Structure 1
C-alpha cells in the first residue's frame, strides 16, 4: 500500500502526522487510558487490521487483543489513536452516547470520500431534518410502491446476463444490480449517467478503509479523484431539477435528490450543495455495497448448503404457486411471505456482518469502565463482540436460521447490529431487505447453478465478499418456460 509512495513525500507526510499525533498522545500520558499497543508511528496497527480483514480474521485480531488487554483496549488506526470497546454494554455506550460526547465523526478517509455533511456525520436538528426527509422514501409504505419495479429490473438484468453468459461472477453482478436499483428507484438517474458513475463509485468505496495518504497512485488519492468526478457529474442534474422544482414541473416526492433540493431548514433556507452532494454519495455507497454483500453471500450460502437451498427454493416456489390471476410481478404481500429466506439472511449477517464495526470520535474527555478516553481519540465498536458471544447467541459458530424464529430468548438491545444502532443506525435496512428478497426470489425461480470454486473463502475489503468474485455456472431452471 505504501511502497509506491515517493520517499521524500512519505517523509514529509510522516513528520506532519507525527506532530499531530504527538499532540494527541501527549495529552493522554497523564490519563488512565486503556492498555494496548499503538503500533508503528502514524501507521499504527492499520496494516495488521486491514490484513486480518482481508483474510476474514478480524474476529481473531480482536480476540487476540481482548485476551491480552481486556474488552477495552487501545490501538491506532487510520492515523489516529483508537479505543476498541467490545461487548453489549460497550456497544450501548458507543452507539447510545450523545453526539456532544461520542460523535459520529469518522476518520479522515471516510470524511473525504463520504463527505463531512452526510447523515453519518450530521448531528442535532440538521441530522433529524435530513434523515426525516430521506426516510420518506425508505419507509415500508413507500417501499410497497417499488416492489414491482425492482422485480422487473432484477428479472430483466438476470435474463440478459444468462443470455450472454453461461458462467457469471456473482459479486460483479450483485454490485451492478444493487447500484442500478438505488440509482433507478431512489434517485431516478438515467441509464447513460448510471453507467458513467458506476466505476467511480466502485473506486471511491475501495478508498474508504485506506491510510490517509493523499499522494498520486494511492488508493486514498484515487478515491478522492473519483468522488470529485461524481460531484462534477451530479451538479448539472441538481441544477436542472432545482429549476424544474421552482417551475412546478417536478415534485419533491419524485425522487430522493429532488426531496433534498426541496428541503428548507428552520430559517427557511435551502440546503447547501455540499450537504446534498455528500448525502447523494453517502446513500449510494451505503445502499449499494451493503446490499450487494448480502445478496452475494446469500448465493454463496445457497451454493454450499443443500438443506438451506431446498428450504429457500420450496418457500419461493410456494409463493408462485399461490399467486392468483394474471399477476406476473412480485408483490409486497409476497415479500412478507419470505420468512425463512429472510431468516437465512439474518443469520448470515450475524455470522458475516456486512458492517464489521464502526468508528466514532470523542469530542470531549470521557470515560468507560474506569478508563479515560481523551478528547480527539477515535472509538470503535465491533459486531463480532456480541454476534459471536455464546451468552447471547447459543452455539454462535453454528449456522442456524431458526434462532430468529419465535425466539424464546430475546436478543438484548445493542447485541445484533448488522445495521448499526442508535440515532445513526442504517436508515436503509428495510430497503436492503426488499432488494435482497427480490433478487433471491428471481434467482432461485429462474436458475439452477453450481459454484465453480467450492473452497472459495471470504475476504473483507472492507465488505465481506467471496475472494474470487464467486464465479458460478448457471442454467435455466428446468420447470420454467
Structure 2
C-alpha cells in the first residue's frame, strides 16, 4: 500500500471517529474543561506511560492544576471525566446502578470476562454478590484463621528450605493464590494450583499491557491464558455440579458450588460462563491485591526500623500470651483482633500507595456534577490519591503515620479513604485481606529475621505497585529467647 493511500485511510478513519465523537457530546453545552487528545487514542498513551512510571498521580495533578478537580480527557478509546475529591468520590461511588455502571475498558473485560461481578448491575449483581458474601462474612472468616495460619507456616518453611534468599513479591503472589484456591474454592491439589497460578500471572500482566492482538504480544498471551483457565476449570465445575445434584456436595462447600446452586429471578440457573468469569475475577481480587499489600508492608518494615520494632513488639506480645496460656499453636480470631498497630501500618501503606489507582464507571444517563454535564455513555474515573494525599483530610500527607487510623485520632470522612472502594461496589473481600495480611506478617516477624538485598529498592507500578526488584530478602529462622 502506498504512503498516500495509507494516509488517506488514516484521515478517513480519523474523520469518522471525530464525527462519532462529536455526535457523542452533542447536546452537552457545559462539558468540563480539558483535552480529548488525539483522534482514536486520546490521551491513552501518556496516561499509561505515566501509570507505569508510578507518575499517575502527577499526570492527574497536572490536569487538576490546569483545569480544576473535574476535567475531561479520553482514555482507552472513550471520552472520560476525571473527578478528584471527597464529593466526587461520593457522587460516583455512592450513586445507584441507575446512574452509573461499572465500566472497565473492553480490553480488560475481554481478559476478565463480561459476566464477572464488576460488570454486573441490578438484580444479577446482587445475586452474585450475596453468594460471594456468604463466604466472606465474619462467622465464615473466623473459621478461616486456623487454615490460613497452617498454609502460611507451611509455605514459609517450604520457601526457605535449602536457601537463604527469597523474593517476597513472588512468594506473596504464590501464597495468597494458594490460600484463595484452598479456602474459597476448595482446590487443594498442588499441581492444579500451580497450573492455574502460571496462567493467572500471564493474565495479570496482560491487564497492564497495550491491547494489541498479534502473536506473542502480552495482550494476546493473556487472552490465551484466559482460555486455558476456562478449559481447566470446566471439568472441575461439571464434577461439582454432578456432586451437588446427587447430594454428595453442599452449596456451602465453596464459592464455585455456591454459584452453581444459584437461581435467578425466573428460577434459571447461572450459566457456566458466569461461574468461570466470577471464579476468575474473585481469584484475581482475592490474591493479587493482598499480595501487593503484603509486599508493600514487608518493603516498609525492611526500610523503617522504628515501624518494624513496634510491629515486632505487638506480634511478640501476642505470641508470648499464647505460649503463657498454653493454648493451641495456631492463631485465633481473638489474636487477629489484637493486631491493631500492624493493621494501622497496612492501612497507612494503602493510603500512600493504593493497590488500585482508580475506578472507572459508565454514565447510563445524562447527569451533571459540580456544574458540568456528563453525557450518557461517557465514563467517569475517580482516583484514590486525590483524597488520600489531601492535607485537609490527612495532615502532613507525605509522612508515614499509622496513628492516623487509631480510633482516638481525627475521624476520616466517608469516601475520603478508598483503598477498597466505597459505596455499592466496595470490595467485599476487605476483611479476608485483613486476616490474611495479619496472619502472614505475624508468622514472618515472630518466626524469622530478614534483611533486604537492595535497601534502596523503589516502588514501580506496572498495572499495580510493586517493589521494582521483586524485594529479595535474606531470611533465616528467628532464634527464640
TM-score computed with the length of structure 2 as normaliser:
0.94
Change (3 A) 1:383 1:477: same
* Residues 404-413 or 466-475, more deviating: 404-413
Tell me, in whole angstroms, the C-alpha distance in 1 between the residues paired with 2:319 and 2:147: 18
Change (3 A) 1:135 1:176: same
Tell me, in whole angstroms, the C-alpha distance in 1 between the residues paired with 2:293 and 2:197: 19
Counterpart of 1:107?
Answer: 105
Counterpart of 1:257?
Answer: 256
Deviation at 1:84, TM superposition (A): 0.4
1:309 aligns with 2:308: yes
Counterpart of 2:69?
Answer: 71
Tell me, in whole angstroms, the C-alpha distance in 2 between the residues paired with 1:165 and 1:240: 40
Counterpart of 2:183?
Answer: 185
1:460 aligns with 2:457: no
Tell me, in whole angstroms, the C-alpha distance in 1 between the residues paired with 2:190 and 2:10: 41
The answer (yes or no) to whether the contact 1:294–1:345 under 8 Å persists in 2 is yes
Deviation at 1:17, TM superposition (A): 8.6
1:427 aligns with 2:438: no
Counterpart of 1:213?
Answer: 212
Tell me, in whole angstroms, the C-alpha distance in 2 between the residues paired with 1:107 and 1:269: 29
Correspondence 1:28-67 to 2 at 5 A: 28=25, 31=28, 32-67=30-65
Tell me, in whole angstroms, the C-alpha distance in 2 between the residues paired with 1:337 and 1:348: 19
The answer (yes or no) to whether the contact 2:98–2:364 under 8 Å persists in 1 is yes
Counterpart of 2:400?
Answer: 399
Tell me, in whole angstroms, the C-alpha distance in 1 between the residues paired with 2:8 and 2:191: 43
Counterpart of 1:24?
Answer: 21
Q: Secondary structure at the match of 2:393?
A: coil
* Residues 459-468 or 96-105, more deviating: 96-105
How far does the alpha carbon of each residue in 1:206-264 deviate from its partner, in whole angstroms, 9 at most, with x for none?
Answer: 22233333333332222111111101110111000000000000111111110101111
1:167 aligns with 2:168: no
Tell me, in whole angstroms, the C-alpha distance in 1 between the residues paired with 2:6 and 2:266: 46
Change (3 A) 1:326 1:209: same
Deviation at 1:24, TM superposition (A): 3.2
Tell me, in whole angstroms, the C-alpha distance in 2 between the residues paired with 1:174 and 1:279: 22
Q: Secondary structure at the match of 2:360?
A: strand
**Which consecutive unaligned segments of at least 5 residues does structure 1 have?**
1-7
Counterpart of 1:281?
Answer: 280
Tell me, in whole angstroms, the C-alpha distance in 2 between the residues paired with 1:12 and 1:320: 70
Aligned length: 473
The answer (yes or no) to whether the contact 1:78–1:212 under 8 Å persists in 2 is no
The answer (yes or no) to whether the contact 2:286–2:429 under 8 Å persists in 1 is yes
Deviation at 1:81, TM superposition (A): 1.5
The answer (yes or no) to whether the contact 2:459–2:467 under 8 Å persists in 1 is yes
Correspondence 1:124-273 to 2 at 5 A: 124-189=122-187, 190-273=189-272
Counterpart of 2:477?
Answer: 476
The answer (yes or no) to whether the contact 1:72–1:83 under 8 Å persists in 2 is yes
Tell me, in whole angstroms, the C-alpha distance in 2 between the residues paired with 1:54 and 1:73: 22
* Residues 92-101 or 291-300, more deviating: 92-101
Deviation at 1:51, TM superposition (A): 2.0
1:378 aligns with 2:375: no
Tell me, in whole angstroms, the C-alpha distance in 2 between the residues paired with 1:394 and 1:419: 21
* Residues 155-164 or 431-440, more deviating: 155-164
Tell me, in whole angstroms, the C-alpha distance in 2 between the residues paired with 1:11 and 1:126: 46
Q: Secondary structure at the match of 1:120?
A: helix
Tell me, in whole angstroms, the C-alpha distance in 1 between the residues paired with 2:15 and 2:100: 24
Name the Cα RMSD after superposition.
2.0
Counterpart of 1:417?
Answer: 418
Q: Secondary structure at the match of 1:144?
A: helix
Counterpart of 1:86?
Answer: 84
Tell me, in whole angstroms, the C-alpha distance in 1 between the residues paired with 2:277 and 2:376: 26
Tell me, in whole angstroms, the C-alpha distance in 1 between the residues paired with 2:200 and 2:6: 27
* Residues 367-376 or 141-150, more deviating: 367-376
Tell me, in whole angstroms, the C-alpha distance in 2 between the residues paired with 1:275 and 1:149: 28
TM-score computed with the length of structure 1 as normaliser:
0.94
Change (3 A) 1:358 1:448: same
**Which consecutive unaligned segments of at least 5 residues does structure 2 have?**
none
Q: Secondary structure at the match of 1:397?
A: coil
Change (3 A) 1:11 1:138: farther
Q: Secondary structure at the match of 1:138?
A: coil
